[in-house]
Structure 1
């Protein structure tokens, strides 16, 4: 698999997981957040998730926070993903955090 394809697939996997909101700021009148998953910081638009603030967990897809999830649900989701780590590592070529 070429590196560009692998990087693209890695980003897609990241975009499906719950991410903590580290910072909230405005950018051209859009409410934006810095989120982190697997040690990688990304920007996401909070326009679809009113009330989201620092410390919240959101599902980000193609740069948009599409829903907010609670911390307990995030932990359950990460446990399931870690349990599948062997399959994910084979698929993506990288282990989960």
Structure 2
């Protein structure tokens, strides 16, 4: 049976740390027997367009590898940005 991997981001998700974040996503998706990746945004204060792009990247890369991706604890400010960008139908936001 496959496993679930969770990554939690804190602080800002922007140009300064986007390469580190992409590395975290790739590492998590390459974990042996991973079936689900959960991205926890509870500690995030700010997300720019690159950060939104990384969320889309995670979902697309997960789909290519057969890994379900979900995003949880999305701060209101970030959720508003997701809606404005029209990504609320694309990103699997876990409301729970």
Normalization by structure 2: what TM-score?
0.28
Answer 1 or 2: higher relative contact order, Cα 8 Å, separation at least 6: 2
